[in-house]
Amino acid sequence: MILVTGATGFLGATLTRQLITEGRSVRILRRENSKLDLLGDAAQHVDHAIGDVTNYPSVRAAMSGIQHVYHAAAYVGFGGKKEEERLIEINAGGTANVADATNEAGAERMVHVSSIAAIGRQRGQMEPITENEEWVTSKENSSYATSKHLAEMEIHRAIAEGLDAVMVNPALIFGPGREDENTMAIVKKVQDGRVPAIPSGGTCVVDVDDVAAGIRAAMHRGTKGDRYILGGDNISWAEIFGTLADAMDAKLPRLTLTRGPAMAMAAISETLSKLVRIKPLITRETARTATSTYLYCNNKAVEELGCTFRPFRETAERIAASLR
């Protein structure tokens, strides 16, 4: 029996569907009001445990009879300081609960879904980032990145206490999903012609199906205590937006948004949000991330886990087909 947390979300649902297709017995830990649409038919073929990763008794109850645990539940927030408490509670605290419950229940192994953000980065870093990087406190690391780094620290603590766990660090994940969530929000803006300017930075992108396959491979082939970057193409935001626009026959602006103007816009947006009490359109964290370029190396996942990663153009075409 396998337990999946975050199974009703973008990545977790993809992972769960793959496991069901393999003929695995799966239990999902979900909140009572969670949407099940992304699971599709798989929702009828899994055991449902109602609870929340921030509630230890519900996590422990879901572990009964479980051998393998996939921890994919997380909160993704880029709203600045206001969201820090929730990020820490869910990403770090929730991971601690899942790791401790896995240990207490005597499950065989856990795979923790982290992020490339948890590896950390520093401004001006030119060489490709690998799993061996050490976390350094920097303004380039968002509150989300910090929360995911702290979650990895909880995994290392639990390993010291006897847990068998592996970590995977997905890049920016794209793929068919809910139109208003995750990277599909970016896709929708491209489709509707609502992109005011293209950020000057770049990042590593990956297909959601390839990430789910990499997570499964980590369960069976990953080395205890290690982490694996699950990333495909290292490309600029101009290439990301351009590839999406080509796939959907959409038009893009010619304006490029560089760091200086982006930070100024973010400062104004954050100030206005405090005055009118609404979420800022852009934060300084987002501005820094979008106008910086960082490269990531996937050699370890390819060589040790046997992962393969499709080109972003293929992912963009999959997304466009799903919207049609």
Q: What is the mean pLDDT of residues 105-117?
A: 97
Q: Which helix (H) or strand (E) holds 303?
A: helix 299-305
Residues 30 and 191: their CA atoms lie apart, in Å, by 32
Residue 81 pLDDT > 80: no
117-136: pLDDT as tens digits:
999 887 777 899 999 999 98
Residue 80 pLDDT > 60: no
With tokens 């359109």, the residue in question is 281
pLDDT the model gives residue 222: 98
DSSP string, 154-181: HHHHHHHTT--EEEEEE-EEE-S--TTS
CA distance to 14, 105, 118, 234, per residue, from 129 (Å)? 26, 35, 12, 11
Q: How many CB atoms lie within 10 A of CB 278?
A: 10
Q: What is the mean pLDDT of residues 160-166?
A: 98
Question: Does the predicted TM-score (pTM) go above 0.85?
Answer: yes
- Look at 6 and 277; give whichever has higher pLDDT: 6
Q: Which helix (H) or strand (E) holds 202?
A: strand 202-207
Of 80-84, 117-121, 311-315, which one has max mean pLDDT? 311-315
Residue 206 pLDDT > 60: yes
pLDDT the model gives residue 263: 86
How far, in whole angstroms, is CA 159 from its chain's centroid? Answer: 22
Q: Is 308 helix (H, G, I), strand (E, B) or coil?
A: coil
With tokens 């929340």, the residue in question is 52
Q: What is the mean pLDDT of residues 182-198?
A: 93
CATH number of 2-175+205-232+296-310: 3.40.50.720
pLDDT the model gives residue 278: 73
Q: What average pLDDT does the structure give for the chain?
A: 94
